[in-house]
Structure 1
C-alpha cells in the first residue's frame, strides 16, 4: 500500500526524535503509520498526526490536527485514562521543529504513558500468555464502558440500517478491487445482502432503543491491552471519524470476538461474549452480532489486501468470514436440568466455550428483572425473587433471550434448574418452532455432595445463585424427574466425578434436527 502524500510540508520527526534523545540520554524509536508518527522513549510515547488528507480523515492543516489531538485524548480517556496523559505543542519550523521554547506553535502531539510491548493482547496471544482472566476483565470493562457511553440522538446520522448496509457494500467493493471478483466474495456478498435486508428492522429498532452509542470503533487485538497483573482495557479508539465509533455496541463486540476466533481462540471469544452478555443482558444484540462479525472480518481482510506484506502467522480473515457465515446455519437449543449444586452452571459455561454457544443464566436474569446486579442479595433489598409470578416472568424472559440468539444463528444454552416438566416442555416447543434440535443436559450428584456444594457457595457469596440448603431440600422433594421422552433427548452427566466436556460437546453438536 502506498503511503498518502502530504498536502503540505511535514515537520521533521527525526529532528524531534534527536531532541528527545538528547534530553533523555536514551535512544528513541520512531514508528510510522499511514496517518501518524509515534516517538517512543523508555517511559513515554509522543504521537503526531501527519498532514494528510484521505477519504476518511483530514489532517491537512495544523488546526485540524490540534482538534484531532484533543479528540483523541477525550475518546481514549474513557477507557484508558492512565495511558493518555495530555497534549504538548511542537514549536519552530517544519525543517527545525522542537519541543518547548518560545517560538510559534507549529503542531501538537498527544503524550501517552508507554507500556511494555508484550502488554498488547495480540502479542500475548502469540506468546501464549493471554489468559481467560484477562478476557473476563476486558469484557467487564467494555460492558461498563458501553453502559455509560453517550447514546446517539434520534436525528444523528449514525448507525441506521442504510448506513450499515452501505458500510458492508463499501468494504466488499474495495475487496473486489483489491483481490479481483471471485466466487468467494460473490458468496459473501449474497449472504451480506440478504442478512442486511432481513435485519434492517432489527437494526432500526435497536437504534431507537439506544443501542447506537459512542463506542471505541476499533477493538481488534492490537488495540487491546493488559495493564499490571490482571487489568485489561482498550486504547487507540477512532477519533478522526465519528461515524466509525458511533455504532451499535454489538459492532464493537463483534470486532473483539471475531479477532479472537480468527486467531484460533473461539474459547476466549465466547468467554468474552458470555461475560459481556451477563453484565449487560443485551441478548437481543445477538440477532445482529454475526452480521457485524462478518463485516469486521471483511474489514481486516481488506487491510491485509492493501498491506505491502503479510505476517506468516496472520489469520486468513476472509476464511474467518466464511466460517462465521457457515456457523450461523446450525443453531440449536440446550437446557440444563438438575437441583442446586448439581454443577449445571459450571458445565454450561465450559460447554458454551467448547461448543461456541450463547449462555443465558436464570440466576443472573432473574435478578436483572428486579433491578439487581448479579451478586446483590435479594433479601437485603427486601425482595422475594422466587414467587410463582417471579418464576413465570423469569422463564418468559429466558425464552425471549433464547429466541433472539437462535434467530442470530447461535447455539444456545439456557442455564436453569428446569425442575418443572411444564417449563421444559415450553422450551422444547420453542426449539420446535425455531426448527432447531433440542437437548437436555441432565446434571446430578449424590445428595451429600449437593448439600456441601450449596452450603459452601452460600457462605462464599461470590455466585449469583441464592439457593440455600433449605431450597435444595424442597427441590429434591418436589422436582419432577425426566420422563421417558425427555430422557431420549437428554445427555445425563454425574458431576461428582470428573466430566469429559469434550465428549459432552461432541454428543450435543452431533445431534441433528
Structure 2
C-alpha cells in the first residue's frame, strides 16, 4: 500500500521514522492532505496542490498554512494542536524535527474516532448536556473574537459570490435533469439575498463579521473529557472564516436538521442565542442555513461526478431540498408562559421549543442583560427594588415585546418565558398576535404550593438559574397575581406540572391542544 503514495508518505509509513513509540502507521488521505496516525500523535502534511480556492503549491505556503492551522485551531482545541513539525533529510529518508526542512507537518494529539459527534449521534449517545456545553463554548468563543479588519469581509458582495459559485458548480456536477430544480433554488436564493441585503450591511457595520471556525459541523467536533471540542477550522481561506458569527453556527444547525434532529438543532440555537444575545442574527439565519446546505450538496455533487453512484446523487438532492426549505419562513405563532415562580416555566418552554421549533425569550435572562448583568450574576436587588422595581419590570416587558415582534417578523414562532401575572403585561402581546393574524397561546402552568416551595429552595441551593425569586417573592407574587380575563380564556392552555417529568397522561392532552393551536 505504501508504494501507492509519494516517496515521503511511503517512507513515513515506517514506524522507525518517528521520535516516539509507534507500532503501526495508518495513512488517511483527502484531496488536500495526508494524515499519518502514528502512536499517540497524528501528523498532517498538506499536498503541494493549487485548487484555486487554496494554494499549497510552494513550500513557503505550506509552512505558512501549517502555522495558521495551529494558530486558529488552538483557540478552541489547544489540547489537540501541538506544533508545526519540520521534516528534514530527504523524501526517501525523512527525519522528524530536523532542519533544513523540505516539508512541514501539523502535529496533533490523536483522539478516538468514536468520540466524534456525528458518530455519537448515530449511536444515540449525543446528549442535551453535550449540546448545551457546545452552545456555551461557541457563543463565548464568538463573543471574544476580534471584529472584521476590512470593508470587504462580510459585505453583501463577499456573501453572494460563494453562493453564486456553488450553483454554477452544482449545475456542472449534477445530471441534466437536476438543472431545473437547481436553477429554481438559485433564483429563490437570489431573492432571499436581495431581501436580506440591508441586514447583511447592518451585521457588517455592527461588528458581527469575525474570524470564526468556518467549518463547524458534527464531524469536526469531538468529545474530550466529557466536553465537545471543535477542531479542523478553515486555515486556507480568510474569506471562508472571516464570516458572520451566525453563518458559523448555521453550519451546525443545518447539519442537525439534515440528520432529522430538529430538537437538538433548536436546543443548540436557543442556548447559543441566550448566551450571545444575538437574536438579530435570526434575520439572516435562513439564508445561511440554505447556503450551508448548498455547500454540502456541492461536496456530495463532487463525489457523484467522480463515482456516478446514485446514492451520492440522492445525498446531494437531499441537501438541496433542505437548502430550499430553509428559505421558507415558518408559520409564526406567539406563546406566553403564565405561572408563579417555581412552576417550571423554563422547563416547559424548553420542551415546547424542542417539540415545535420555537425561539425562546426568557425574562429572567433578558432582564439581566438589559441591566448589564449576565444570566447567573446576582443583582443584589431587594423585592420590588433595583432591577425588579415596577419601572424596571415595565421596561423589561416592553423590551421583550419589541424583541418578540422582531422575531415574529423574521418568520419564527416565539415562546416568551415570563410570569405574565398581570393583565397589563399580557395584553400588548395578545394585541401584537391579533394585529399580525397569528396563533396566540397563554400556556398556564399550575403547581401545588408545596411543590413550588420545594423547587424554589432547591433552585436557590444549586445557584444555576437566572431566576432570583425566593419564597418571599413567591408569597408576594401570589397575592398580586391577576386571573385571566374572559377575553384571554379562549387562548388558554393549562398544563399541570407537579412532577419533574413532563410526559404524563395528564399533560399529554395539554401538549396536544398546544400542537393543534400551532398548526
Corresponding residue for 2:258?
Answer: 262
With over 3 angstroms needed to count, the CA separation of the structure-2 counterparts of 1:175 and 1:390, relative to structure 1, is same
Structure 1 Cα separation of the partners of residues 185 and 512 of structure 2: 28
Structure 2 Cα separation of the partners of residues 205 and 240 of structure 1: 27
Corresponding residue for 2:219?
Answer: 222
- Secondary structure of the residue that 1:465 maps to in structure 2? coil
Counterpart check, 1:343 vs 2:344: yes
Moved more, 175-184 or 463-472: 175-184
Q: Which of 152, 160, 163 in structure 2 is aligned with 1:168?
A: 163
Counterpart check, 1:445 vs 2:451: no
Does the CA-based 8 Å contact 2:422-2:481 persist in structure 1? yes
Q: Which of 297, 306, 319 in structure 2 is aligned with 1:317?
A: 319
Structure 2 Cα separation of the partners of residues 166 and 313 of structure 1: 26
- Secondary structure of the residue that 1:129 maps to in structure 2? coil
Query: Aligned-pair distance for 1:165?
Result: 2.1
Corresponding residue for 2:427?
Answer: 425
Q: Under a length normalisation based on structure 1, what TM-score does the superposition of the two structures give?
A: 0.92
Corresponding residue for 2:485?
Answer: 483
Corresponding residue for 1:248?
Answer: 244
Corresponding residue for 2:57?
Answer: 60
Moved more, 244-253 or 392-401: 392-401
Corresponding residue for 1:471?
Answer: 473
- Secondary structure of the residue that 1:341 maps to in structure 2? coil
Query: Aligned-pair distance for 1:449?
Result: 2.2
Does the CA-based 8 Å contact 1:135-1:268 persist in structure 2? yes
Corresponding residue for 1:206?
Answer: 203
Does the CA-based 8 Å contact 1:16-1:98 persist in structure 2? no
Query: Aligned-pair distance for 1:411?
Result: 1.6
With over 3 angstroms needed to count, the CA separation of the structure-2 counterparts of 1:363 and 1:84, relative to structure 1, is same
Structure 2 Cα separation of the partners of residues 25 and 437 of structure 1: 63
- Secondary structure of the residue that 2:387 maps to in structure 1? coil
Please list every run of 5 or more consecutive structure 2 residues that lacks an aligned counterpart in the other structure: none
Corresponding residue for 1:3?
Answer: none
- Secondary structure of the residue that 1:268 maps to in structure 2? helix
Counterpart check, 1:85 vs 2:82: yes
- Secondary structure of the residue that 1:136 maps to in structure 2? helix
Does the CA-based 8 Å contact 1:10-1:50 persist in structure 2? no
Structure 2 Cα separation of the partners of residues 114 and 157 of structure 1: 37
Query: Aligned-pair distance for 1:95?
Result: 4.6
Does the CA-based 8 Å contact 2:447-2:498 persist in structure 1? yes
Query: Aligned-pair distance for 1:10?
Result: 6.2
Corresponding residue for 2:300?
Answer: 304
Query: Aligned-pair distance for 1:15?
Result: 0.9
Q: Which of 182, 186, 194 in structure 2 is aligned with 1:189?
A: 186
With over 3 angstroms needed to count, the CA separation of the structure-2 counterparts of 1:270 and 1:512, relative to structure 1, is closer
- Paired residues, what number? 501
Query: Deviations for 1:455-487, whole angstroms, at most 9, x for unmatched residues?
Result: 222232221101111111121111111112211
Does the CA-based 8 Å contact 1:21-1:28 persist in structure 2? no
Counterpart check, 1:131 vs 2:132: no
With over 3 angstroms needed to count, the CA separation of the structure-2 counterparts of 1:136 and 1:20, relative to structure 1, is farther
Query: Deviations for 1:204-247, whole angstroms, at most 9, x for unmatched residues?
Result: 1111111111100000111011101x211200000000010101
Moved more, 468-477 or 136-145: 468-477
Corresponding residue for 1:511?
Answer: 517
Structure 2 Cα separation of the partners of residues 448 and 204 of structure 1: 53
RMSD: 2.4
Moved more, 396-405 or 478-487: 396-405
